[in-house]
Structure 1
Amino acid sequence: MQRSTTSGPRVLATTSRMPFAVDEIHKLGEAGVDVTAADTFSASPGSHSRGARRHVEVPAPTQRTEDFIAAIVDTLDRYEITWLLPMFEEVFYLAAHRDRLAADRPDLELFFPPFETLAKVHDKVTFAEMCRDLGLPVAESITATSDAQLADAVAHWSSWFARAAFGRGGLDVITNAGPLAGETALDEIHPTPDDPWLVQEYLSGVDRCSWSVVHHGEVVLHSCYEHPLAIDNRGGIVFESVDSPESLETAQLIARELNWHGQISFDYLKTDDGVHHMVECNARPTAGCTVATSDEFATALFDPGELVVVPAGRKKAIKAAVLRDVLKHPSHLRPNVRASRGATGVYDQHRDHLPLLYSALSLQHVLHYRKELGIDRNKREELMAAQFFDVSWDGSAIV
């Protein structure tokens, strides 16, 4: 067992590849916290942040759950971890084995809710039902569990939008309106009872997202943001904080209803009348953490006091993704420059530039993804899917 040289929290941050993981690891390091970063491959960008005192490589939770949990248990003990901080959907595998993680570790803080609570908000169908029960605005929707039901559902509206109940990251969506219209053919989608699709009326508006740190049902740190620039009309790559009392009220309502403990994020569609329609919940951090300061984040985790709301006007960018978009679409140069003006980097922070280098080196993970799924090199591929194929949860039973 490695003895820590610090008397404060000792954090294990899992799935360190994600941009928000890079950011949170950096922030915790700035705050002087002992951080161990973990991921399924050694080139994970967050594992090479100056914020991480060490990093470990663990088996893939999606494909090798038992080996993953065993590696986490070993890491908890080896480095005397006192805080387990999941960054992506590995949280479901950790939560499913919560008792095993907590056994004989009275000082370990598991900063995530029980599995049943996580699953309720992760499933878009049950999340929408919960929001309606709480009186929150949600677009009218129909759940499809067969090809016939899907055909009937999309015929219900002239403009519609459909999403897999367990899809994430802007993937597994189909619509006949907006910038993504026609990207996927309807006959490519085959819902089942185990893999249902939620079909909703297409609403026009502005995408907004929020992120919160919550302790036992009380939000202690909150940000709401928009993304002036998105990659392939899906995930945001520039993030700017905005004022949104509506998002704070929603986060607090759901956090109290579920007695949430951990990080939680929501997506909204803000229509012209100002209504924030609920879209989905991510039971983990998202880019909203990037617009908080290191002190705000560390205080919210380890010494929470009064509620802190991130003010409007802070801006962050994944600069490599902005550059990639310009190289892929030269006509995007001017709008991309405007959208990212004034933003500081997520992967290239002050005195912490290795994550940017490893964001390029970690492309080997994309090759692993192609090999794992047997995808032809010339086939068009979602970059985001390569990011989470080994740390995602599709609603199937976890053993």
Structure 2
Amino acid sequence: MNILITGARAPISLDIAKTLASTGHRVWMSDSLLFPIGAASPHIQGYVRTPPPRQAFNAFTHALQQACARNYIDLIIPTSEEVFWLALAKARELITTRVFAPPLAKLLALHDKWLFAQTATELGYGAGENRLLTSREAVEALEEDVDWVLKPVFSRFAARTLISPTPKALRRVTPTSQDPWLAQERAHGPEYCTYNIAEDGELLLHVAYRPKWRAGKGASVYFEPYADARLREMAAALAARQRLSGQFSLDAIDTGDRLVALECNPRGTSGVHLAAQFPTAFSDALLGQGKAPELQPHPAMLGLPLKLFNPLRAIGGALKADLARARECVNEAGVGLMPSIAATVEMFARAALHGTGVLAATTRDIEWNHSSSTQDTERRRV
């Protein structure tokens, strides 16, 4: 099968490419960047650079459709938030190739933190309280005796998230109907992340991990495997409820009494680095061809960002021991240090050019921050 992996900037693209190539498939990658890490993979047939979907949607879909026709692509596997733009293109029949992802309406029901909070509550995994905030008045109406967590309905890497905010911090929150926020009663306990693959509502693959070390306060860069039947049951319940096909992740807090689902990312996430340790099972699941057994992976890490964000801790102590026992995902996927440095430098340059943080720069041209699928994307400018 000829397969196109989009979102070559994501380190998980390397493991997906290696897995599919090792099981007999021909793989291409695409992205809008000059030096995405995935373009350096020794397991791909070629790299296709496209216009950015968020700023040039029509040009993006045209370039992708041409690439699919030119390389006889049978299947597109998204890795990041470009999945929403691909789903929009499929809905408008601008791309004819099969995309391994749910339709746009299902994606948005999971990506929108307010909508997902309601679904989680209906499934028995919701926070004690959920409030949609679209005005200053809604913020001021929050009870002072409740321990709240506030975050934008559309956000990533814990950007702008406020945990147990002070009155002063709350005064700076100015939600609107175009930029709504979610207020949730805070759940206390350890956090766990899951990566899952489903086909027509059936859970085909599941791995879970602790985000032991992070890049800043958001994205995990060290993945400590964790097995808990309740996490699998939660993922299976959501897959069945939404009749999902594709990749999705769930983040949850274990309060001791129950799991509280924090959010869902209906796309590839870092759990890929654990699933890829089982190439046959992972490949079969990605193609909807088989149900994986319970997997027992080893710890995995992204060494360069781990050391960049934790330079002093990497010298000694617990982190040094963790570094010694984890597989380094990029290196094991066949990519050396220089492509990693080039990709990192490009992201720092993009951050400087647009006046954002580095993590924000990684999704600036692919992120999806609205609920409507009919918005004129060609008018959207950052």
Quote the sequence identity (%): 25
How far did residue 330 of structure 1 move? 5.0
2:228 is equivalent to residue 244 of structure 1: yes
Out of 27-36 and 69-78, give the one that drifted further: 27-36
How far did residue 99 of structure 1 move? 4.4
Say whether the 8 Å CA contact 1:369–1:389 is kept in structure 2.
no
CA distance in 1, matches of 2:57, 2:335: 32
How far did residue 137 of structure 1 move? 3.6
Unmatched 5+ stretches in structure 1: 1-8, 376-380
Q: In the alignment, residue 284 of structure 1 is paired with which amino acid? A: R
2:3 is equivalent to residue 11 of structure 1: yes
Q: Which residue of structure 1 lines up, in the alignment, with residue 363 of structure 2? A: 388
1:1-399 mapped onto 2 (5 Å cutoff): 9-101=1-93, 105=96, 108-153=97-142, 155-157=144-146, 159-176=147-164, 185-273=169-257, 275-292=258-275, 293-302=278-287, 304-311=289-296, 314-327=298-311, 329-330=312-313, 333-349=316-332, 352-354=334-336, 356-362=337-343, 363-371=345-353, 373=354, 375=355, 382-395=357-370, 397=372, 398-399=375-376
Q: In the alignment, residue 358 of structure 1 is paired with which amino acid? A: P
CA distance in 1, matches of 2:198, 2:288: 12
Alignment CA distance shift 1:216-1:382 (3 Å): same
Matched residue SS, 2:253: strand
Q: In the alignment, residue 306 of structure 1 is paired with which amino acid? A: K
Alignment CA distance shift 1:192-1:323 (3 Å): same
**After superposition, what is the alpha-carbon deviation per residue over 1:160-186, rounded to whole angstroms, capped at 9, x for unaligned?**
211111111221311237xxx89x943
Say whether the 8 Å CA contact 2:30–2:48 is kept in structure 1.
yes
How far did residue 396 of structure 1 move? 5.4
How far did residue 331 of structure 1 move? 8.1
Alignment CA distance shift 1:101-1:240 (3 Å): farther
TM-score (norm 1): 0.87
Q: When the two structures are aligned, how many residues end up with a matched partner?
A: 371
Alignment CA distance shift 1:339-1:203 (3 Å): farther
Alignment CA distance shift 1:99-1:41 (3 Å): same
How far did residue 12 of structure 1 move? 0.8
CA distance in 1, matches of 2:133, 2:92: 36
CA distance in 2, matches of 1:235, 1:227: 8
Q: CA RMSD in A?
A: 2.2
CA distance in 2, matches of 1:80, 1:331: 45
**After superposition, what is the alpha-carbon deviation per residue over 1:67-120, rounded to whole angstroms, capped at 9, x for unaligned?**
1111111111011100111111111111112145576x5xx4321111111101
CA distance in 1, matches of 2:205, 2:262: 21
Say whether the 8 Å CA contact 1:141–1:200 is kept in structure 2.
yes
Matched residue SS, 1:347: helix
Q: In the alignment, residue 257 of structure 1 is paired with which amino acid? A: R
